[in-house]
Amino acid sequence: MGSEMSTSAGNSFLVPEELDGERLDKVLAAVLPQSRSYLQKLLKEDHVFCTGRKVKAGTRVREGEEIFFDIPEKVVPDILPEDIPLDILYEDDDLMVINKPKGMVVHPAPGHYTGTLVNAVLFHCGQNLSGINGVLRPGIVHRIDKDTTGSLLVCKNDLAHRSLAQQLKDHSIRREYRAICRGVLKQDEMFIDKPIGRDPSDRLKMAVVPDGRSAQTNVRVIRRFPAYTEVRCILNTGRTHQIRVHMASVGYPLLGDPLYGISGRGGQRAAKEQTVKGQVLEGQCLHAEILGFTHPRTGEYIETTAPLPEYYQKLLDVL
């Protein structure tokens, strides 16, 4: 695996009048469009310096003083094929539909360069994958969360990738999920039409926000249990965490959801609950069951159904 960073050419700026006498870390945060944690990393690794003297985060700098800095260039590490079993629901020369298990990350990212779906697909397909999304996401046209199970499309060439990406954009791909949420829904059907964007108070989360992107979810009750409901969620759009955010926003967060469970009727206690009748919860109870699309080469309608994972079926049994 290649190195993750190499040093780029240096840059510099002069401390402006309004920042005279301030700490260096505060000056950097005001001048450079980087996160505070990233700037702290630059300081710690000696990528920031001042002519004639050493500087640290707490160094006070003066107006007109020249600060030199390097922004390390990101070097993409080698993503290696790994012999990881795949549950393939459909496959031909253009694409695959894979039933992703719980706990598997879809594509490599910092902290997850091995054991991902991409590592497994590279072993299965070799170089026969679309390259539109770059070397970190070969073949990946859409994704589902680490702890969400079920159907995921993988493209073997750019023709398939472009076609399916357009179908996703046009909202013409059928995507139906099954989920178990907290609380008992009174109505049999519900249409949630709330815009979703980055949570302004927590960058790790999405939220219903006025200036977010349009997001629509159709919800239908499958069955009701004491304190819980199993629902079918049909996506009209495909925003990040859409079902999880929408269900939490109406007071019925998904069972086991570590990010959005706190939004529900159970409050803090619901977020911390890790078992239901002895069944251990490992992330949200959400399964991408049905995936339907037009084949990019033949024009034929293809539909796959991913069987319920064992944990989900056991949870239904105990409920």
Task: Please choose, from the candidates 253, 247, 241, the residue with its C-alpha nearest in 3D space to the C-alpha of residue 281.
Answer: 253
Q: How far apart are CA 102 and CA 282, in angstroms?
A: 8
pLDDT in tens, 218-275: 999 999 999 999 999 999 999 999 999 999 999 999 999 999 985 444 444 444 457 8
**Which of the four CATH numbers 1.20.120.140, 3.40.309.10, 3.30.2350.10, 3.30.450.20 does domain 172-308 have?**
3.30.2350.10
**CA torsion angle 308 312 317 319 (round to 10):** -140
Better-predicted residue by pLDDT, 227 or 203: 227
- With a CB cutoff of 8 Å and minimum separation 6, the contacts of 86 are 98, 120, 121, 124
The answer to whether the CB of 174 falls within 8 A of the CB of 292 is yes
**5-74 in CATH: which number?**
3.10.290.10
Tell me, yes or no, if 87 is annotated catalytic.
no
pLDDT at 309 over 80: yes
- With a CB cutoff of 8 Å and minimum separation 6, the contacts of 236 are 171, 216, 217, 218
pLDDT-derived band at 133, boundaries 50, 70, 90: confident
The predicted model gives 26-30 an average pLDDT of 86
What are the sequence ranges of the domains in the chain?
Answer: 5-74, 78-170, 172-308
Determine which helix (DSSP H) or strand (DSSP E) holds 247, and give its type and residue range.
helix 242-249
Q: How far apart are CA 245 and CA 303, in angstroms?
A: 26
The rounded Cα 178 to chain-centroid distance in angstroms is 19
The predicted model gives 2-27 an average pLDDT of 70
Integer CA distances (angstroms), 221 to 2, 160, 177, in order: 49, 34, 12
Integer CA distances (angstroms), 38 to 109, 148, 206, 311, 315, in order: 16, 30, 22, 39, 42
**Which of the four CATH numbers 3.40.50.10860, 3.40.30.10, 3.40.50.720, 3.30.2350.10 does domain 78-170 have?**
3.30.2350.10
Beta bridge partners of 221: 231
The predicted model gives 270-294 an average pLDDT of 83
Q: How far apart are CA 245 and CA 160, in angstroms?
A: 30
- Which pLDDT does position 74 carry in this prediction? 61
- Which pLDDT does position 272 carry in this prediction? 47
**Average pLDDT over all residues of the chain:** 88
Strands (E), 146-215: 149-155, 174-182, 189-193, 196-198, 206-208
State in Å, rounded, how far the first CA of the chain is from the last one.
46
Better-predicted residue by pLDDT, 131 or 185: 185
**Out of 25, 94, 145, 257, which one is annotated catalytic?**
145
Better-predicted residue by pLDDT, 76 or 184: 184
Report the 10 Å Cβ neighbour count for 302: 17
The answer to whether the CB of 255 falls within 8 A of the CB of 319 is no
Domains 78-170 and 172-308 belong to one CATH topology: yes
Q: How far apart are CA 152 and CA 209, in angstroms?
A: 28
pLDDT at 161 over 90: yes
Q: Average the pLDDT over each of 9-18, 132-141, 214-223 and give the range with the smallest value.
A: 9-18
- Which pLDDT does position 186 carry in this prediction? 95
- Which pLDDT does position 279 carry in this prediction? 80
Determine which helix (DSSP H) or strand (DSSP E) holds 168, and give its type and residue range.
helix 158-170
The answer to whether the CB of 181 falls within 8 A of the CB of 249 is no
pLDDT-derived band at 85, boundaries 50, 70, 90: very high
Beta bridge partners of 104: none
pTM, two decimal places? 0.75
